Amino acid sequence: MIKKLMSKKVSVFGKSVSVFLITMLAVMGFGSAALVAYLSNTITGYVVVSNPMEISLSSFESWSQLTTYPIALDGGSWVTDLTLPSTRNLEDKTFLVGLKVDNKANVSVEGKTLKLVFSNSVNDITCEDITSLRFLDTGTQTQINKGFQELESLCIIEGTTAVYNIPINSLAANTLYQYPVEFKLGIVTPATYTFTAQMMNA
* pLDDT at residue 113, rounded to an integer: 94
β-pair partners for 132: 184
Residue 45 has pLDDT above 80, yes or no: yes
Mean pLDDT of the chain: 82
Domain boundaries along the sequence of the chain? 2-35, 53-200
Mean pLDDT of 117-121: 96
* pLDDT at residue 9, rounded to an integer: 56
* pLDDT at residue 78, rounded to an integer: 86
- Judged by average pLDDT, the poorest of 22-31, 52-61, 92-101 is 22-31
* pLDDT at residue 126, rounded to an integer: 95
Specify whether the CB–CB gap between 1 and 8 falls below 8 A. Answer: no
Mean pLDDT of 156-178: 93
β-pair partners for 170: 110
Work out the pLDDT band at 29, boundaries 50, 70, 90. Answer: low
Residue 15 has pLDDT above 60, yes or no: no
Choosing among 2.60.40, 2.30.110, 1.10.10, 1.20.1740, the CATH entry for 53-200 is 2.60.40
Q: How far apart are CA 192 and CA 202, in angstroms?
A: 30
Mean pLDDT of 89-104: 87
SS3 readout for the chain: CHHHHHHCEEEECCEEEEHHHHHHHHHHHHHHHHHCCCCCCCCCCCCCCCCCEEEEEEEECCCCCCCCCCCCCCCCCCECCCCCCCCCCCCCEEEEEEEEEEECCCCCEEEEEEEEEEEECCCCCCHHHEEEEEECCCCCHHHHHCCCEECHHHCEEECCEEEEEEEEEEECCCEEEEEEEEEEECCCCCCCEEEEEEEECC
Mean pLDDT of 143-158: 93
Percent of the chain whose pLDDT exceeds 90: 42
Mean pLDDT of 35-63: 86
* pLDDT at residue 21, rounded to an integer: 52
Burial class (CB in 10 A: 0-12, 13-18, 19+), 80: exposed
* pLDDT at residue 141, rounded to an integer: 84
* pLDDT at residue 5, rounded to an integer: 47
Mean pLDDT of 165-193: 90
